[in-house]
Amino acid sequence: MSIIDGKALSKEIRKDVKKQVASLTEKYGKSPHLVVVLVGENPASETYVRMKHRACERAGIRSTAINKSSAISEKELLDTIINLNEDPDVHGILVQLPLPEHIDANKVINTIEYKKDVDGFHPMNIAALQIGTQGIVSATPKGIMTLLEHTGIEIEGKQALVIGRSNIVGKPVAQLLLNKNATVTIAHSRTRNLEELSRDADILIAAVGRPKMVTGDMIKEGATVIDVGVNRVEDKLIGDVDFESAKEKAAHITPVPGGVGPMTIASLLQNTLECFEALQKEA
Ligand code: GUN
């Protein structure tokens, strides 16, 4: 059994991004610039956003925080985004989710210029993912695929089970696995035979947000298990997979923390760099 070290791999990626940032900054005479929009005061979102800014800073990527009160109107938020879309000095735009209920998150995402959509949430990028053409792939699914590649396992022809169908993780990662020719099943809260499906899975991605819901007895011997869960239980981070029992069956498994989490940030930096370079080539 090997533990997939997302922390170490993310460090390598960040080092590589930093080098590329330096070389592109020299080439274009300006550095990549990410703007992160945070609405309201959600403590988890504040932590994520802080981590994103710090990672940018370390990689030589300029990052600007726009913090808005939760009382902001939808119109005002959309206008903020339109200004960022039009600003040639901004190469990446990220609106941290969730947004307050009176704001339609889909409308907000649709308003972001898709070429600056470092989250890969815009319908243009989702369509590119589905068709299998070049687009921005959202950070967590991209990080998961990088982790899988790093293990060296074959994806083609394998049974992959994705537990969870969110737009941020479940659906895009399922599509990425399909694009790599896996046979993909998506399970969710209404799935009746989850244990059966999971015992059949060569690759299991758990992204539901329920602490330790995947236990060792549900895992196929020799499977690769990716745990996307970040459940805060009594001030500790607990994954969706019961690591202790799962590691007895899995050939490769990610820990929580130190698995998918750090890869999300590294992938965001890669996306920011990609957006920057594509926009400069167009200019
Ligand atoms: N909230 C939870 N995950 C994400 C993410 O990847 N991007 C954004 N913008 N918000 C999130």
- What are 45-80's pLDDT values in tens digits? 999 999 999 999 999 999 999 999 999 999 999 999
Rg (CA), the chain: 19
* pLDDT of amino acid 92: 99
Within a domain: 12: no
Output the pTM of the full model.
Answer: 0.97
- Asked whether residue 252 falls in the same domain as residue 149, the answer is yes
Q: pLDDT band for 283, please (50, 70, 90 cuts).
A: confident
Q: pLDDT band for 190, please (50, 70, 90 cuts).
A: very high
Pairing, β 159-163 against β 92-95? unpaired
- Asked whether residue 255 falls in the same domain as residue 212, the answer is yes
- Asked whether residue 157 falls in the same domain as residue 243, the answer is yes
- Asked whether residue 63 falls in the same domain as residue 150, the answer is no
Largest CA-CA distance found in the chain, in angstroms, rounded: 56
Distance CA 211, CA 242 (A): 8
Within a domain: 126: no
* pLDDT of amino acid 243: 98
- Asked whether residue 170 falls in the same domain as residue 237, the answer is yes
Mean pLDDT of the chain: 98
* pLDDT of amino acid 64: 98
- Asked whether residue 147 falls in the same domain as residue 110, the answer is no
Buried b (16+ CB within 10 A) or exposed e, 181-190: ebbbbbbeee
- Closest C-alpha to ligand 1, atom 11: 97
For residue 206, the domain's CATH number is: 3.40.50.720
- Asked whether residue 97 falls in the same domain as residue 166, the answer is no
Distance CA 239, CA 247 (A): 13
Q: How far, in Å, from the CA of 216 to the mean position of ligand 1?
A: 29
Q: What residues are labeled active site?
A: 52, 96, 119
* pLDDT of amino acid 54: 98
Range(s) of the domain holding residue 226? 139-261
- Asked whether residue 143 falls in the same domain as residue 93, the answer is no
Digit-coded pLDDT (tens) for 85-115: 999 999 999 999 999 999 999 999 999 999 9
CB distance 119 to ligand 1 below 6 Å: yes
Distance CA 13, CA 167 (A): 25
* pLDDT of amino acid 215: 98
Within a domain: 78: yes
Residues 6+ apart with CB under 8 A from 277: 24
- Overall number of domains in the chain: 2
Percent of the chain residues past pLDDT 70, beyond the cut: 100
Q: How far, in Å, from the CA of 11 to the mean position of ligand 1?
A: 20
Q: Which of 97, 116, 140 to mutate to test the pocket of ligand 1 (most atoms within 8 A of CB)?
A: 97
CB distance 109 to ligand 1 below 6 Å: no
Q: How far, in Å, from the CA of 200 to the mean position of ligand 1?
A: 30
Atom of ligand 1 nearest to the CA of 140: 6
Q: Enumerate the β-bridge partners of residue 206.
A: 163, 227
Q: How far, in Å, from the CA of 24 to the mean position of ligand 1?
A: 26
Q: Which two tokens stand for residue 180?
A: 């790599």
Distance CA 159, CA 200 (A): 7
Atom of ligand 1 nearest to the CA of 264: 6
Digit-coded pLDDT (tens) for 123-136: 999 999 999 999 99
Residues 6+ apart with CB under 8 A from 269: 13, 14, 17, 55, 56, 59, 61
CB distance 96 to ligand 1 below 6 Å: yes
Percent of the chain residues past pLDDT 90, beyond the cut: 100
Within a domain: 175: yes
Q: How far, in Å, from the CA of 258 to the mean position of ligand 1?
A: 18
Q: Which two tokens stand for residue 57?
A: 């800073």
- Asked whether residue 93 falls in the same domain as residue 201, the answer is no
CB distance 168 to ligand 1 below 6 Å: yes
CA distances from 261 to 71, 91, 248, 251 (A): 30, 24, 23, 20
* pLDDT of amino acid 268: 98
Within a domain: 89: yes
Q: Which two tokens stand for residue 148?
A: 């899988």
Atom of ligand 1 nearest to the CA of 95: 9
- Asked whether residue 155 falls in the same domain as residue 254, the answer is yes
Within a domain: 11: no
Query: If you average pLDDT over residues 30-35, what whole number do you get?
Result: 98
- Closest C-alpha to ligand 1, atom 9: 96
Helix (H) or strand (E) holding 128: helix 123-131
Instruction: Collapse the DSSP code of 37 into the 3-class scheme (helix H, G, I; strand E, B; otherwise coil) and give the result.
Output: strand
Residue 27: Cβ-neighbour burial (10 angstroms; 0-12, 13-18, 19+) = exposed
For residue 71, the domain's CATH number is: 3.40.50.10860
Instruction: Collapse the DSSP code of 233 into the 3-class scheme (helix H, G, I; strand E, B; otherwise coil) and give the result.
Output: strand
- Asked whether residue 252 falls in the same domain as residue 197, the answer is yes
Instruction: Collapse the DSSP code of 263 into the 3-class scheme (helix H, G, I; strand E, B; otherwise coil) and give the result.
Output: helix
Within a domain: 34: yes
CB distance 97 to ligand 1 below 6 Å: yes
| Residue 168 · residue 159 · CB < 8 Å | no
- Asked whether residue 104 falls in the same domain as residue 189, the answer is no
Within a domain: 283: no
